[in-house]
Amino acid sequence: MSPADQPAGPTAPTYVWEPTTDFLAAKYGLPRESLVRFDVNTSPLPPDLRDVLTGPFDPPLSEYPPSDYAGLVAAAAESYGVAPDEILPTAGADEALDLTARAFLREGSVAVGAVPTYAMYGIVTEQRGARFRAVSRREADEGFGLDIPAMAEAARGADLVWLCEPNNPTGTAEPPERIGELLDRLAANAARDGLAAPAVAVDEAYAEFVGSSVVALRGRYPRLVVIRTLSKAHALAGARVGFAVAQPETLAPILSFRAPASVSTVSAALATAALRRPELAAANVARIAEQRARLIGEMTRIGWRPYPSRANFILVRFGSVKIAAAAAEALLRRGLVPRTFGLDHPLADCLRLTVRSARENDRLIRAAMEIPA
Ligand SMILES: Cc1ncc(COP(=O)(O)O)c(C=O)c1O
């Protein structure tokens, strides 16, 4: 190939976004307002923050946000029970994941993750030229739990360990003391091997749905990074606000890769208000827990096989890829968009369905009655 024939540049591993509502509406010949996104784990209704949206903003929108995001940082520090210098605001949890990979991985590094899990860990790892070492979770009938000895062994010599608590897409959560046990093993192995202990990123995007966090373990394991978001329980996915939470010396290399003002003034104001009004997220979490129990009950009654969930989504097993694909297509034809998994995915015979409003869930239940499991 001559230089002129070369492709424009290397193609990095990329997250493939779900199709847009407009695309699906056109494909299935449905009005766009009739579609319900059961695939993206968002909350059904945003919090009422109209008072914030109408401004005025400080600083005004003609200026950049303050580089320290002091108001947002103070609200997040109080909410997560840490000091302000342990909070780094990011454009959603996904930016925090990317910055964490940039901070701790380089060409030839190894990062470890427990699969099946959120695809971004593998993607941001490989984008750094590092290798993603996948450790299988325990079987479904063992609650998809972490294989702690296998994780600790795989992490020998690794630079980073990714954890997702509660885990997407299984909806399961590890008791915090089990995470503590893993951290102790990582520290002990590193001491034995004469190496630095790996950084450990715990993605707590869905933590509010379980009501616990491992953030208190950062004293015991200083290289712990906890990642939080306003996208799920706070119902602000469109605002794109998340955080990396860690001791200042662990946060410093992560901060060094963030663009100076990646969170807009509008988003920072919305997120600050949402964190200062925790009753809004608490009410959302309670509504979702009630609807989740109802959905799981109804699905079970009609012969679907949902797994228990600690998050705002439910994993349903259909037992064969063909039946899962047929169920997905039948749902889509009714305007209900499920999350499917690729053919080579360990959950290829499953669908993942977000818990939505009572009325939207009614549509899902009615559809499920007509769709064989
Ligand atoms: C486990 C997990 N982490 C991070 C994210 C992305 O969150 P954000 O919207 O804050 O970027 C998601 C979104 O689905 C997720 O499931």
Q: What is the pLDDT of residues 275-332, one digit of tens each?
A: 999 999 999 999 999 999 999 999 999 999 999 999 999 999 999 999 999 999 999 9
Rounded mean pLDDT, 256-285: 97
Tell me the two tokens of residue 37.
């996104």
Distance CA 48, CA 42 (A): 16
In the reported structure, the alpha carbon of residue 230 is separated from the centroid of ligand 1 by a whole-number distance in angstroms of 9
**Closest-CA residue to 352 (of 170, 228, 94):** 170
**Is there a contact between 174 and 202 (Cβ–Cβ < 8 Å)?**
no
In the reported structure, the alpha carbon of residue 7 is separated from the centroid of ligand 1 by a whole-number distance in angstroms of 31
In the reported structure, the alpha carbon of residue 240 is separated from the centroid of ligand 1 by a whole-number distance in angstroms of 10
Rg (CA), the chain: 21
Q: What percent of the chain has pLDDT over 70?
A: 97
206 Cα nearest atom in ligand 1:
1
In the reported structure, the alpha carbon of residue 118 is separated from the centroid of ligand 1 by a whole-number distance in angstroms of 8
pLDDT of amino acid 9: 52
Tell me the two tokens of residue 46.
């945003």
Burial of 139 (C-beta count, 10 Å sphere; 0-12/13-18/19+) = exposed
**Number of alpha carbons in the 13 Å side-chain half-sphere of residue 184:** 6
In the reported structure, the alpha carbon of residue 164 is separated from the centroid of ligand 1 by a whole-number distance in angstroms of 10
Residue 38 CA to chain centroid, in angstroms? 15
Contacts of 209 (CB under 8 A, 6+ apart): 166, 232, 233, 285, 288, 289, 310, 311, 312
Single pTM value for the model: 0.96
Classified as helix, coil or strand, 275 is: helix
User: What sign does the CA torsion over 190, 228, 73, 94 have?
Assistant: positive
Rounded mean pLDDT, 59-76: 97
Rounded mean pLDDT, 105-120: 97
Residue nearest atom 12 of ligand 1, based on CA coordinates: 205
The sheet carrying 313-317 orders its strands as: 305-306, 313-317, 350-354
pLDDT of amino acid 16: 78
Residue 112 CA to chain centroid, in angstroms? 17
pLDDT of amino acid 6: 46
118 Cα nearest atom in ligand 1:
1
Strands 305-306 vs 313-317: parallel, antiparallel or unpaired? antiparallel
A 10 A CB-CB count for 248 gives 13
Higher pLDDT, 199 or 2: 199
Lowest model confidence (mean pLDDT) among 139-143, 206-210, 263-267, 270-274: 139-143
A 10 A CB-CB count for 55 gives 12
DSSP 8-state secondary structure symbol assigned to residue 110: E
pLDDT of amino acid 14: 83
Give the phi and the psi of residue 23 in degrees, each rounded to 5.
-60, -45
Rounded mean pLDDT, 61-71: 97
Residue 154 in contact with ligand 1 by CB distance below 6 A: no
Tell me the two tokens of residue 131.
């290798």
Distance CA 169, CA 342 (A): 13
Rounded mean pLDDT, 107-119: 97
pLDDT of amino acid 17: 81
**Number of alpha carbons in the 13 Å side-chain half-sphere of residue 126:** 15
**Is there a contact between 137 and 115 (Cβ–Cβ < 8 Å)?**
yes
Residue nearest atom 16 of ligand 1, based on CA coordinates: 168
- In a mutational test of the pocket of ligand 1, which residue from 94, 121, 263, 341 has the highest number of ligand atoms less than 8 Å from its CB? 94
41 Cα nearest atom in ligand 1:
14
Question: What's the CATH code, domain 3-46+279-370?
Answer: 3.90.1150.10
Query: Per CATH, the architecture of 58-276 is what?
Result: 3-Layer(aba) Sandwich (3.40)
For the chain, the average pLDDT equals 95
**Number of alpha carbons in the 13 Å side-chain half-sphere of residue 25:** 11
Kindly write down the DSSP assignment for every residue of 319-360, as one continuous string.
SSHHHHHHHHHHHHHTTEE-B---TTSTTTTEEEEE---HHH
Q: Where are the domains of the chain?
A: 3-46+279-370, 58-276
**Is there a contact between 202 and 245 (Cβ–Cβ < 8 Å)?**
no
Residues in the chain: 373
Model confidence at 37: pLDDT above 90: yes
4 band by pLDDT with thresholds 50, 70 and 90: very low
Distance CA 143, CA 139 (A): 7
In the reported structure, the alpha carbon of residue 348 is separated from the centroid of ligand 1 by a whole-number distance in angstroms of 21
